[in-house]
Chains A and B, each alone.
Chain A
């Protein structure tokens, strides 16, 4: 077996026992790796109705098939569990050295169940698994945790994925941080770690990773790396994704003040261009990446002098215009706090924006905020709220549940502007001016996500009319989901997508040369459809109904007030029609369930037996 190890490590934190599961090439070809493999392992190891914060929820890490090889931007891992934020599949990914260390330690994936009786971290040292006392690490920030574990083990090469104080406090959108600045964000898997008393997973591996056809793979990878340093990725290398701020603002779909507007009057002052000129220190690459998109920024003086972190568009939108913030140092500090405490920057920004709107509408008062006055744009209040969320202090205890549950608790019509789908807070594209993406948000298995549904590309690039809906959008949304799944499963960074001429055959070829397992373009396409259906099957087993595929009221009732998307709204009848077209394109029933024969056709007969209708 090449590239793969054929071995999955199962860890029970309750009993402190481990066992190894051997898997064959057929299984690995069926689910490949990354998010695909991690989701299958969650499906197999997390029962229906499991408490996401209970011991039965399996937290599954899966390396990519390419991790540790020379395939550019292929050193990533997927991690999945039942999300405490949504109650559905929480499938996340991250990059860099932790990913290939999973392989070097001898595993394709890790399945972690149970709950330790005290703070613990796992140290997987090739074939030896240690359950180490993490009492002294409890309360440490993510960056501190990595450093402390390396110091304790006396080895700077150990790679660590940890949760921060927010995960320990069960903030439902806590994330997992590895290699200091890489996060598996969204859906709250850091809280799953916290609930298990699992502070971190540390890896040290020494096993080689061999590929099937090194000569031909080297040739292809050299070409790909050259393309990845060319014009198709220049925007990422120079400005990073924050360059999207001005584009989306001009199109009138930049979420502003909790999605009340689509144009931010101060966009220039929080743009990627402005950031590059005033705050960027350097661009950093993940392991095995020729692009280097990560923009490391720092505030050199003033109120937030010394703040430093890395910034991408989604973090910037959520904590910038969506909170009405035009003071860049304040945004940097807000994102730095999220990263240190281990909370998802996107959910945090949307939660803070919801709290700000509650304050401005008089639903929550200054007394509710312990004396803070969180008007939109008040960066000091925003950063104070992030501190409170991470430690569940005062109003932070409410906000730590996410906007869905917080708005249910507060009531008074605040659900109208609780910007989430299935409990996951929105990403940074206003779907009212991007109608295909509106569909993608509504039907997304983990919630509204620009990373799982690339439907916004069809809207923005003019493949469809972004202002109108039609019955063809279901097929577009399906294809864009499966396109994204290629990158999330194989795994490859999506920033390289412009470097392929014909994605499916080229990636299938890379896979075959790496693993020695024959894969055709058609098989790869079918696999992506399988992965998308697998996530849906997991959701159905956890109680999904058609009502979960919908958008927040604001998108259906409040038109965008100004800009190039002025007047846009998602009409409920249009959304309903697009959802029906999506179910039809997927071969599902009108109620959105998966027919038994569909699951069988996709090679998941065992799941068909359990749940197919």
Chain B
């Protein structure tokens, strides 16, 4: 299935893209989406993704279309889901 991933902050800077389409299997989890992203953008490994586990580095996380935050990378997205890879923190 195809999923759209919108990129914010460091992910956008490293990829040079605002959003990308990723192709994953129908049974794919969000971790598989992370793997697909790192294949396309190997520079994600390290700054954004833990190379050994494909966990997202704190404080990045997935959000579904601005409405719901993923609880785990083992969640299975649905066809045509629009994922946001983002973070937010403020206050110095």
Contact = CB atoms under 8 A, between A and B. Distances in A.
Interface of A: 95, 231-232, 234-235, 238-239, 241, 243-244, 246-248, 250-252, 273, 293, 312-314, 428, 450-451, 454, 456-457, 460-462, 467, 484, 493-495, 497-498, 563-565
B58 interface: yes
A186 B23 CA distance: 48
B88 A231 contact: no
Interface of B: 6, 8-10, 12-13, 46-48, 57-59, 61, 63, 65-71, 84, 86-92
B92 A493 contact: yes
Contact of B92 (A235, A312, A428, A462): A312
A250 B6 contact: yes
A231 B46 CA distance: 8
Contact of B87 (A235, A252, A454): A235
Contacts of A252: 66
Contacts of B61: 461-462
Nearest to B49: A231
- Nearest 5 pairs between A and B by C-beta? A462-B69, A564-B66, A451-B91, A494-B91, A231-B57
Nearest to B47: A231
A564 B13 contact: no
Contacts of A451: 91
Nearest to B68: A462
A182 to B, nearest CB: 10
B57 to A, nearest CB: 5
A563 B91 contact: no
B13 A273 contact: yes
B54 to A, nearest CB: 15
Contacts of B58: 231-232, 498
Contacts of A467: 67
A7 B90 CA distance: 34
Nearest to B84: A250
A320 to B, nearest CB: 15
A450 B91 CA distance: 7
22 contacts: A231-B57, A232-B59, A235-B87, A238-B10, A239-B9, A239-B13, A241-B92, A243-B8, A247-B9, A251-B63, A251-B66, A273-B12, A293-B92, A313-B90, A456-B88, A461-B69, A467-B67, A484-B91, A494-B91, A498-B58, A563-B66, A564-B67
A498 B89 contact: yes
B41 to A, nearest CB: 15
A498 B10 contact: no
Contact of A247 (B13, B65, B87, B91): B87
A231 B48 contact: yes
Contacts, number: 86
A127 to B, nearest CB: 33
A247 B61 CA distance: 12
Given A247-B8, A247-B9, A457 B89 contact: yes
Nearest to B12: A273
Contact of B71 (A232, A243, A312, A462): A462
A79 to B, nearest CB: 16
A247 B70 contact: no
A462 B63 contact: yes
Contacts of B89: 235, 241, 244, 457, 495, 497-498
B66 A250 contact: yes
A234 B13 CA distance: 11
Q: Taking each of B47, B84, B89, which has the highest tally of chain A beta carbons within 10 Å of its own beta carbon?
A: B89
Contacts of A457: 88-89
Contacts of B65: 564
A328 B57 CA distance: 31
Contacts of A244: 88-90
A250 B91 contact: no
A231 B59 CA distance: 9
B55 to A, nearest CB: 12
A133 B61 CA distance: 55
Contacts of B8: 243, 246-247, 250
Contacts of A454: 91
Q: Taking each of B47, B48, B61, B88, which has the highest tally of chain A beta carbons within 10 Å of its own beta carbon?
A: B88
A314 B10 CA distance: 20
Contacts of B71: 462
Nearest to B57: A231
Given A252-B66, A461-B69, A462-B69, A247 B88 contact: yes
Contacts of A232: 57-59
Nearest to A240: B92
A252 B63 CA distance: 13
Q: Taking each of B47, B66, B84, which has the highest tally of chain A beta carbons within 10 Å of its own beta carbon?
A: B66
B86 A250 contact: yes
B30 to A, nearest CB: 13
Contacts of A239: 9, 13
Nearest to A239: B9
Contacts of B9: 235, 239, 243, 246-247
Nearest to A429: B90
A241 B84 contact: no
Nearest to B48: A231
A113 to B, nearest CB: 30
A460 B88 contact: yes
A251 B6 CA distance: 12
B61 to A, nearest CB: 6
